[in-house]
Structure 1
Amino acid sequence: MPEFKSDSPVMVTGANGYVASWLVKGLLEAGNTVHATVRDPDNSDKVGHLTALANQTKGQLVLFKADLLDSDAYDAPMSGCELVFHTASPFVIRGVKNNEKDLLEPARLGTKNVLDAVNRTESVKRVVLTSSVAAIYGDSADLADSGKTAFDESDWNHSSSSHHQAYSYSKTIAEKLAWEINDAQDRWTLVAINPGLVLGPSLGKTRSESMRIFRDMFNGSLFPAAPDLTFGLVDVRDVAKAHLLAAFKPNASGRHVTVAGTMSYVEIARVLRERFGVKAILTPRFTAPKALIWLMSPLVGIDRSFVSKNVGYKPAFDNRYIRQDLGLEFSNLNDCVADHFQQIIESRNK
C-alpha cells in the first residue's frame, strides 16, 4: 500500500489538455507542486491558463517541454515525483489523414516513453493513466454481441483496428501496453481511468474534440434530425476528480468505467431547449432514419461500417466499481450538458 509524501512534486503529462487542466487546477488548489509537461511552455495561448491558475492558488507550477515521441523527454520532469498522471494522448476523430502516424504511434510510443521513464525513476510509486471507454468497447453493437447488459471493467475492445475506429484502437493498445509494463515490475502501481465522452467547460483556449462534436448541435448541422447515436457521458470535472482519487487513495486499483449515464443527440437537444430556449432552436428534434444516414455518410466523411455498428444501438455502462473503489459521486448530466453548451455559445459570441 503506497503512502505519498505531501511535499513531493507530481507530474502531469499533456498538462494543458481538456481534462488535464482541471486536474492541474485541483492539484494546485491542494498545494501540490506540479511538474507539467507541454509541447511548448512558451506558448501563452496554450499554457496561459495554467500559469494563471498557479498565481491564484497555493500550489506551484513548473512547466517542462516534452513530446510524446521523445524517449528522453520525461526523465527531468519526473525527477523526485512519487505520482505520475499520464493524460497526454491524441484525441482526434475527424479529419485524420494517417491513422498510424497521427493516432497509433503517439498513443503507443507516448505510453512506452512515459512508463520507461517511470521505470528509471526510483521515486515513482503510482501512475494514473487516462484511458477511455474506447479501450473497453469499439462499437455500440459490441454490447449485444457480448450477451451482457452493460460494459464494465472486465471488457476490452476487440472490434477496433487500425482501419476501423482507429482512435478507439489507439486507446486500447496504449492501455494494454501500460498494463504489460506495469505487470513486469513491482515497485509502482497503475490505476486507469476510463471516461466516456467528456463534456463540460474548458479552462483553456484549446477546445476539446467533444467541443467540436457538439458544436454541430449549435450551428444547425443536425437540424431537424440527428443520427440515432447514444453516448456514454461524463463531466470533465468528475473525470479530474476521479484522477485525484485514483492517485491519493492508497488502495485504489484497476480500471474504472467513468461514465455518469447515456444520452442520445435528441435527448441532449431536449435538455438544451429546456435550458436555453431560442438559443437552442437549431438543435435536432427528431431521429433520422438509419437507412438515410447510411446512404449519406460517405458525403460527410463517415464510414458506413461505423453507421452499421453504432447507429440505433444503445450502449450501457456499469459504473459501480468506480463508486465503490474511489468513492466518486457523479454530477448531474443535464447540468453538465448545459455548461458545455453555454461555453460553445460564449465562444461563438467572441
Structure 2
Amino acid sequence: MILSPIVLTGATGYLGSHILTQLLAKEYEVRITTRNLQRTQQDPLIKELLDKYPGKLHIYEADLLEEGSYDEVMKGAKALIHAASPFKIEGIKNPKKELVDPAVIGTRNVLNAASKGDIERVIQTSSIVAVYGDAIDVEMIEGDTFSEKNWNATSSISHQPYNYSKTVAEKEALALSLTSKWSLASINPGFILGPALTKRTDSTSVDFMLNLLNGKMAMGMPDLYFGVVDVRDVAGAHILALENQDVKGRFICCNQSLTMLEMSNILSKEFGKKYKIGSRVLPKFLFYILGPIMAGLTWSYVKKNIGIPLKFNNTRSTEELGVEYRPVQETIVDHAHQLIKDGILKK
C-alpha cells in the first residue's frame, strides 16, 4: 500500500534533500517543514522541485522545539520520515542546547504530533553512533563486528555529545512507538559521503572532504576508521523502509569501513597531483600532543579511536530492505567532483 502524503523533516539538509528528490521522483506527495517559510521558498533546489513537480510538494512552518507546531502538517498525512537533527562534532559550546534538545525534544514533539494525526508509518534517521560511541567499544561486544543489537553505552553529554544525542533520540522514538498506532523503522547510517544537491557548506561531510583535498592532511593524517556510506544509498534506504511496512527495528546502513588514508588514496588515483592530498599516516603519539591544538581532538578521543579498526554488519539493510550499495570509490570521487563543480573546492 502506498502511504501518501508523506511528511519529511530536514528536507533541505544534506541527506534530506536526497530523500526529498527521490520521493518526488517516485511521484509521492511530500510535505516538508521549515522554521523559515520565506527562506525555504527561495532555496534554489526547493524552487526547482516546486516547478518540476507541481502540486506534489508543500511547505509548512514548524519548529522542533515548539510543542504542537507539527500538528498541522500531520493532518491527513500517512507517513513520516524524520530526518531533522543537527550533525555537529566540532565547535560545540553548549551540547545540551545545540545537540541533545533538538534531537530528543524534537523527536518527541514530531512523533507526538504524528500520533495525533493519521500517520501509519514512521522512518527515523538515527546513526551508526547510536550503535557505538568510540571504536574501542568493540572490546565490549561479542566478536569484532557491530550489529543492530548493539547500543552506544559509553557516550555522554560531556564525551561524544553528538553520539549521545543520536542514541537518546533513537531510544525516545522506540519508547513512543510502543504505545502508538504507527510502526517504526530506524535507519542507522555510517559516515555519509557523496555528492550534495545544494551548495551549502555547513556540513561535517563537506568539511571532511575538503580537508582531504585542500592540503590540511598533506603532512599526514590520523589512523582513523570510518564506516562509509553514500548519501544516495541512505536516502534510498529510507524509502525502501517506508514502502516495506513489514520491516521494523534498526537497520545499519553502512557500505565499507575505510581509513582516512584509504580515502585519500582513492582521491589521489582520480586527481593525481591537482590537489595536496596526504599520503601517509602520522603516529598516534603525535595526536596526544598536537590533536587538542590542531584538530580539537581530546586525549580521550585519541586513545579510544585512533588505530582501532571498525567493522559493521549491514546484512539487515541488504537482505530485508534490499539496499544495493554503490562502490565506495564512486561515492568519494563523485563527492569531490561535486565540490569542484560547485566552486566549493577551488582547482
1:261 aligned partner, one-letter code: Q
Relative to the length of structure 2, the TM-score reads 0.95
Structure 2 alignment gaps of length 5 or more: none
The number of residue pairs the alignment matches comes to 343
- C-alpha deviation, 1:314, in angstroms: 0.5
Aligned counterpart, 1:348: 345
Q: 1:243 aligns to what?
A: 238
- 1-structure distance, mates of 2:145, 2:135: 11
The alignment's C-alpha RMSD in Å is: 1.5
Q: How does 1:87-166 map to 2 (within 5 A)?
A: 87-121=83-117, 123-166=118-161
- Give the Cα–Cα distance (whole angstroms) in 2 for the partners of residues 46 and 57 of structure 1: 16
> What's the offset of the Cα at 1:143?
0.9
In structure 2, C-alpha distance between the alignment counterparts of 1:243 and 1:159, rounded to whole Å: 27
Q: Report the equivalent of 2:191.
A: 197
Equivalent residue in structure 2 for 1:289, among 279, 283, 289: 283
Check whether the contact 2:34–2:40 (CA below 8 A) recurs between aligned residues.
no
**Structure 1 unpaired stretches of 5+:** none
Q: 2:29 maps to which residue? A: 33
How far is the alpha carbon of 1:58 from its aligned partner? 6.4
Report if aligned partners of 2:121, 2:245 keep a CA contact under 8 Å in 1.
no
CA deviation vs aligned residue, 1:86-115 (integer Å, no higher than 9, x gap): 000010111111111101111110000001
Q: Report whether the alignment pairs 1:15 with 2:11.
A: yes
**Identity over aligned pairs, percent:** 37
Shift of 1:294: 1.4
Deviation of residue 45 (structure 1)?
A: 8.7
TM-score, length-scaled by structure 1: 0.95
Q: Distance in 1 between matches of 2:46 and 2:113?
A: 24
Distance 1:272 1:237 in 2: 19
> Is the counterpart of residue 335 in structure 1 residue 330 in structure 2?
yes
How big is each residue's C-alpha offset from its partner over 1:175-234, in whole Å with a ceiling of 9 and x where there is no partner? 00100000123x110000000010011112323211112211122111121000010000
Cα distance, 1:45–1:31 mapped onto 2, change above 3 Å: closer
Which stretch of the first structure deviates more once superposed, 291-300 or 105-114? Answer: 291-300
3-state SS, counterpart of residue 345 of structure 2: helix
Q: What amino acid sits opposite 1:296 in the alignment?
A: L
Take 2:263 and 2:330, find their aligned partners in 1: how far apart are those partners? 11
Query: Which of 273, 280, 290 lines up with 1:278 in the alignment?
Result: 273
Give the 3-state SS of the residue equivalent to 2:273 in structure 1.
Answer: helix
CA contact (8 A) 1:232 1:261 kept: yes
Structure 1 runs, 4 residues or longer, greater than 4 Å off: none
- How far apart, in 1, do the equivalents of 2:129 and 2:37 lie? 30
Which string of whole-angstrom CA distances, capped at 9 and with x for unpartnered residues, describes residues 239-259 of structure 1? Answer: 000000000112121100000
